[in-house]
A and B are shown apart, each in its own frame.
With several copies, the nearest count.
Chain A
Amino acid sequence: MTRPIDVGGLSGEKALRLYRGLVRIRRFEDRVYQLFLRGELPGTLHQYQGQEAVAVGTCDALRPDDWITSTHRPHGHALAKGVSMRGAMAELYGKATGCCGGKGGSMHLGDPDAGMVPAIAIVAGGNSVVTGLGLAFKLRSTGQVATCFFGEGATNEGAFHEGLNFAAVQKLPIVFVCENNMYGASTPFHLTSLVTDVADRAAAYGVPAQVVDGMDVVAVRAAVETARARAAAGDGPTLIEAKTYRFAGHSRGDARGYRSRDEEKEWKERDPIDRFGLALTTAGTADEAALAALVAEVTSELDDAVEFARNSPDPDAAEALTDAYATPITIGALR
């Protein structure tokens, strides 16, 4: 089950970059959970602990000017793609300095500067929209690639089907990354699909697919690198299925009564951070001290982000009425 991560050929620099990516997300999510429990954050949360290797491995294989679409569970994707921790944290607080000015919130994190469309919280909503990103890149021959993150639950939506088929037919430069964490909210995938591997659905569209260990950042990165190259070469989309697990509940307040503690334990033994750290130290790519130093840096970054968010102003109430249109329109005059 817990095959060691193959870090051969990974430079120290790249290794630490990946490790930092994982730790940033984990620490961010853990902190956010505390802040939420303390009542500092409005709304709800869908957290990403356990799945970090998917976001980090994927985004590390992308170009900075590549774009991603994301889901109701976007914190990890946002940090991995380069949304600033300050901008993300302030957005969770609903502050004016948030990456969406406080209008998006947890489920709509995004930032054009980082190449991230505001996350789409409609399950599989990104699967149709991402085709347009790919189409734009293709029509303008920019060499950019679009990546669509989605859960295994999303693969039962019509948008999954239409989006993947259209991307295939048009040979769009897209990488579809399915995070199969085995559950859509409380519902296990096997109750909703007779096929076990989402990857097996790709053949229906003539799309190549690959199952990858989603708890192994190096494996994810390699798979996406290949898929990205294929996409950029004009050979069309690839579907990557990353087998993973969310350590937390579906959303805040989920007591996870629908899955066993044994199952959780098994998956926690494959913790993507512990495993990667162990592999790095074992292989001598990095030492414990380097990793610890890195964690300390992340902690400071996080402290700073929280401080920044807390000290940021609320948006002005009048801001509520801007941004529906490029230029305000007069019917529905707002009063």
Chain B
Amino acid sequence: MTHPAGHAATLEPGGAPSGPERRLTIAEAIREAIAEEMERDDRVFLIGEDVGIPGGFGGAFGVYLGLPERFGRDRIIDTPISEKAIAGAAVGAALMGMRPIPDVQYADFLFECMDELVNQAAKMRYMSGGKLSVPLVMRCPVGTSNRGAQHGQCPESFFTHVPGLKVVCPSDAYHAKGILKSAVRDDDPVLVFEHKLLYGSKGREQAGGLDLTAHVPEEEYLFPIGQAVVKRSGTSVTVVATHLTLYRCLAAAEELSAEGIECEVIDPVSLLPMDTETIFASVDKTSRLLIAHEDTLTGGWGAELAARTAEERLFSLAAPIRRVAAHDVPLPVAPVLEQAVVPSTERIKSEIRSLCEL
């Protein structure tokens, strides 16, 4: 079984290596990552809406609380509600050698600065013949939370279709911290998608009783972009999933274990580049692949992984590649409707079951 050394072996469900316990939420881990990187490198700064106003929110999800006091409002820069200016400022500053962390509150609002991301950030290095780089890190909260069609999208897949960008989706505090630090040090633009219900700032209830903390060591570490994590070993089927859906897959895996189905659950962590090596090694073992995400089905990142598998591992497969994703509709707000759209543990379970019967 090929997976990156030193990680999968000692994993607990939260995903962190064992060691003296220091459990943080994702929000805390991200805050720590930003603070460490700002401390280490004075080129790093934050820029966005409601990020540093005294008495304010510390960003839409409270992640930045305390940072303005520590680093000053010159490096935690509040902006007008102007996504193009925010993203444009980040691109321009990055071109000049800075390491901006722009913030537009919800991933849904990235559509207001697509030109800056797709036409500028992603292409500047190439257009310049490799002379310039755009080391920015855009953090993008995704995921439904009964806020309707314009505040719950998971648009990460769009960006996997943009050469020049990198796209990561950490799902626990350990990897969120480690990969964010890698992203800040990366010379290319990185979009970091985080799931709102996993921040942990509101407690477990919001995420359906999940423990949203994970062990985060005191000592500094990086987690590389492009490396997947095997969250659970199994031999019956390979399950690749991110964010809240990952936890639903893990729950499904536990329940299915009683039925004799042993899922190998993989958190890809990075979508672009994706660690297909780890995933294919698992598929070689299990002969079955199910991909699950909260982003909508058609054209989602699961399609790319399925396509690659169908090209490179067709003959390893004993059954069709199955995807479980949000249905191809905008997000409704009524809880009963919302739950019908996004992948539930039940739906995942029944898909895995039917896949293992094939």
Binding site for B on A (CB under 8 A): 42-44, 67, 69, 94-95, 98-108, 110-112, 117-118, 120-125, 127-137, 139-140, 146, 153-154, 156-159, 162-163, 165-166, 169-170, 184-188, 191-193, 254, 256-259, 314-315, 317-327, 329-332, 334
Contacts and interface: CB of A to CB of B under 8 A. Distances in A.
B97 A184 contact: no
A139 B53 contact: no
Given A108-B333, A166-B79, 10 more contacts: A94-B333, A99-B129, A105-B146, A117-B124, A121-B150, A129-B116, A132-B89, A162-B88, A188-B53, A332-B296
A217 to B, nearest CB: 27
A105 B94 contact: no
Given A134-B92, A135-B93, A329-B166, A154 B81 contact: yes
Contact of B146 (A42, A140, A321, A323): A42
Contacts of A110: 127-128
B88 A94 contact: no
B84 A108 contact: no
B85 interface: yes
A111 B132 CA distance: 9
B158 interface: no
Contact of A165 (B82, B91, B186, B338): B82
B82 A43 contact: no
A42 B93 CA distance: 32
Closest 4 CB pairs of A and B: A132-B92, A128-B88, A105-B333, A257-B55
Given A129-B92, A184-B81, A186-B56, A325 B129 contact: no
Interface in B125-139: 125-133
A185 B92 CA distance: 26
A315 B337 contact: yes
Contacts of B273: 329-332
Contact of B336 (A129, A154, A315, A330): A315
A125 B115 contact: yes
A22 to B, nearest CB: 27
Contacts of B116: 128-129
A131 B129 contact: no
A156 B143 CA distance: 27
B100 to A, nearest CB: 7
B181 to A, nearest CB: 17
Nearest to B92: A132
A125 B127 CA distance: 14
Nearest to A189: B80
B336 A314 contact: yes
Interface of B: 45, 47, 49-50, 53-57, 74-75, 77-98, 100, 108-109, 111-112, 115-116, 119-120, 124-133, 145-151, 163-164, 166, 186-188, 226, 272-274, 276, 296-298, 308, 327-330, 332-341
A159 B81 CA distance: 11
Given A122-B108, A129-B92, A192-B81, A104 B128 contact: yes
B262 to A, nearest CB: 25
A133 B92 contact: yes
A326 B133 CA distance: 8
Given A100-B129, A108-B127, A125-B120, A67 B150 contact: no
8 contacts: A43-B333, A102-B336, A122-B108, A159-B84, A163-B84, A314-B336, A320-B332, A324-B125
